[in-house]
């Protein structure tokens, strides 16, 4: 056993040394306190159109097994580095989509490879425990090193999960349990509660609701779909709960020219939100919780001011609703802070904060009173994966060591200024440039043009993805320097030449 571990470490060390001499590798990090070698390619290199012949053959093969309508192309992750994704046809693309905004510090980061080469971590990688009943000895320490080291203000408890949808789904359950215990004045259900819940009837299965917002996206599982309102394809043919929806502000840009109009729009949305809560209580389906994204991502990168969120928080308190901030898309540093809600400047911003994607694991932080009152109420087999907490701890070390949050702020300004310039240059095509940190967006004239750009840009070596009805999200994922921390959107750009130039102009400004 010992000899095999030594052999593996030697092989990994050899592979790393070979990467150093590989064509296209270069030093790119100068912000770290100590000089570090980091590996990235110099630029895209396209051999075929995308998908190429090998990708097409694999897509046909996979199509015999499952639906492949969403498959873009097949990837060679072993050869992908930093900001660059390599496909099976040896096309190398600048990846500004970053696996639907889930890659925090680029592909094959040396610090993570070194971590995985440590034989002391083999057990964590090989064994996946049922964390709710049989956690490993070091689990409390690893949670403290990773998730709790970046916990939101006022929260010292975290519940791990596997993905964004199950994080939100279980957060909803926690809010319902909290609300019913509050109504009862204790946490002991009656005999009637117990018996009726087994046949899906009240009071054991109460008529309670979660309020969400038009344009929001919170996942694709059954409960989450009732709060998802971004695209019909997610919801079509699936039964849904009778839960309320409120309007999310639609701001006008540039912000400084529409101060009065935007303030009126946000006031209107807050007023309608409170009206909805009152109406749902009157119809016998009270709102137990409110869920909202700090920036609506999948729904089109829609922003609102800190005053709007402060007003919403106050409405939740007034009506006794739990306030759930969904940071699955925005958490992890893309806005220049670990959590987008930190920009609101509140000491008590939320009761629950859910996360996933760039945090590598899923879960939610919560206040003490939303702790599950009995075992197995918030539960599944795995409840996360300890190996992801191990990786996350090292990702956070890299972010701190290389001052990536500061780099996000600096690069985000360069990016947004570039989008402003392009918007001025192509007013018939681009509009509504906006952003926070590198979580930036710009709208395009129509959906067909947007989609055409995505395909043409990909063939030129720039990998993008769409969101909303006419947006292109995720220019760069969290590793700003080689580049990123997410540029959640470059939303909608019409001509391929523009988009191609934008991407390389941005990369040139952000590379160190």
**Rounded distance, CA 208 to CA 135, Å?**
33
More confident residue, 419 or 264: 264
Averaged pLDDT for residues 123-134? 96
Query: What are the catalytic residues?
Result: 217, 326, 357, 381
Handedness of CA 315, 318, 320, 325 (dihedral sign): positive
pLDDT at 473: 53
* Higher per-residue confidence, 231 vs 511: 231
Whether the predicted pLDDT of 26 surpasses 50? no
Higher pLDDT, 47 or 479: 47
Domains belonging to the chain, first-starting first, are 53-72+81-108+404-510 (3.90.1150.10), 117-402 (3.40.640.10)
pTM above 0.85, yes or no: yes
pLDDT of residue 475 exceeding 90? no
- pLDDT on residue 3: 41
pLDDT band at 39 (very low <50, low <70, confident <90, very high): low
- Average pLDDT value over all residues in the chain: 86
Structure token pair of residue 337: 């802070």
pLDDT for residue 453: 77
Considering only residues 37 and 54, tell me which one the structure prediction assigns the higher pLDDT: 54
| Cα 256 from Cα 305, distance rounded (Å) | 12
Q: How far is CA 156 from CA 143, 153, 353, 365, in A?
A: 11, 9, 12, 7
Residue 510: pLDDT over 50? no
Condensed to tens digits (0 to 9), the pLDDT of residues 250-294 reads 999 999 999 999 999 999 999 999 999 999 999 999 999 999 999
**Least confident segment among 33-37, 161-165, 253-257, 344-348:** 33-37
Average confidence (pLDDT) over 435-445: 88
Q: Pick the range with the lowest mean pLDDT from 98-107, 242-251, 324-333, 356-365.
A: 98-107
Tokens 């760069």 sit at which residue?
476
- How many CA atoms within 13 Å lie on the side-chain side of 5? 10
Q: Is residue 22 over pLDDT 60?
A: no
Q: Among 103-112, 161-170, 277-286, name the one with the lowest average pLDDT.
A: 103-112
Are 249 and 266 a contacting pair, CB within 8 Å? Answer: yes
Whether residue 172 is predicted with pLDDT greater than 80 in this model: the reply is: yes
Using the predicted structure, report yes or no on whether residue 99 has a pLDDT greater than 60: yes
């Amino acid at each position: 056993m010992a000899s095999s571990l030594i052999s593996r470490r030697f092989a990994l060390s050899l592979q790393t040394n070979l990467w150093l001499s590989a064509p296209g590798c270069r030093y790119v990090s100068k912000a770290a306190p100590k000089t570090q070698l980091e590996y990235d390619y110099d630029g895209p290199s396209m051999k075929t159109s995308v998908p190429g012949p090998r990708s097409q053959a694999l897509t046909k093969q996979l199509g015999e097994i499952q639906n492949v309508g969403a498959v873009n192309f097949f990837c060679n992750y072993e050869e992908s580095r930093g900001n660059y994704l390599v496909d099976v046809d040896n096309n190398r693309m600048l990846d500004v989509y970053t696996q639907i905004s889930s890659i925090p510090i680029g592909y094959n980061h040396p610090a993570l490879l070194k971590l995985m080469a440590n034989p002391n971590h083999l057990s964590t990688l090989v064994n996946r425990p049922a964390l709710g009943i049989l956690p490993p000895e070091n689990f409390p320490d690893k949670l403290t090193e990773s998730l709790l080291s970046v916990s939101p203000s006022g929260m010292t408890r975290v519940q791990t999960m596997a993905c964004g949808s199950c994080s939100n789904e279980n957060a909803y359950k926690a809010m319902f349990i909290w609300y019913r215990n509050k109504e009862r004045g204790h946490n002991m259900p009656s005999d009637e509660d117990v018996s009726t819940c087994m046949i899906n009837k009240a009071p054991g299965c109460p008529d309670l609701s979660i309020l969400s917002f038009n344009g929001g996206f919170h996942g694709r599982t059954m409960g989450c779909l009732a709060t998802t309102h971004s695209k019909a394809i997610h919801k079509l043919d699936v039964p849904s709960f009778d839960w309320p929806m409120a309007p999310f502000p639609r701001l006008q840009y540039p912000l400084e020219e529409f101060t009065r109009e935007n303030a009126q729009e946000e006031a209107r949305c807050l007023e309608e939100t409170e009206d909805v809560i009152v109406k749902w209580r009157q119809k016998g389906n009270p709102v137990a919780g409110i869920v909202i994204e700090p920036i609506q991502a999948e729904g089109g990168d829609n922003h609102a001011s800190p005053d709007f969120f402060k007003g919403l928080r106050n409405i939740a308190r007034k009506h006794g609703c739990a306030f759930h901030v969904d940071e699955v898309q925005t958490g992890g540093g893309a806005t220049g802070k670990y959590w987008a809600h930190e920009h609101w400047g509140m000491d008590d911003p939320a009761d629950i904060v859910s996360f996933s994607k760039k945090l590598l694991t899923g879960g939610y932080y919560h206040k003490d009173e939303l702790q599950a009152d009995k075992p197995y109420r918030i539960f599944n087999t795995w409840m996360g994966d300890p190996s992801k907490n191990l990786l996350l701890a090292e990702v956070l070390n890299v972010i701190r060591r290389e001052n990536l949050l500061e780099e996000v702020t600096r690069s985000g300004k360069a990016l947004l200024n570039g989008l402003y310039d392009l918007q001025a240059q192509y007013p018939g095509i681009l509009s509504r440039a906006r952003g926070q940190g590198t979580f930036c967006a710009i709208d395009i004239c129509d959906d067909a043009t947007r989609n055409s750009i995505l395909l043409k840009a990909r063939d030129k070596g720039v990998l993008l993805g769409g969101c909303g009805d006419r947006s292109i999200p995720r220019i760069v994922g969290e590793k700003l320097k080689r580049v990123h921390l997410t540029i959640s959107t470059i939303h909608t750009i019409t001509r391929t030449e523009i988009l191609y130039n934008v991407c390389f102009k941005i990369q040139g400004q952000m590379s160190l």
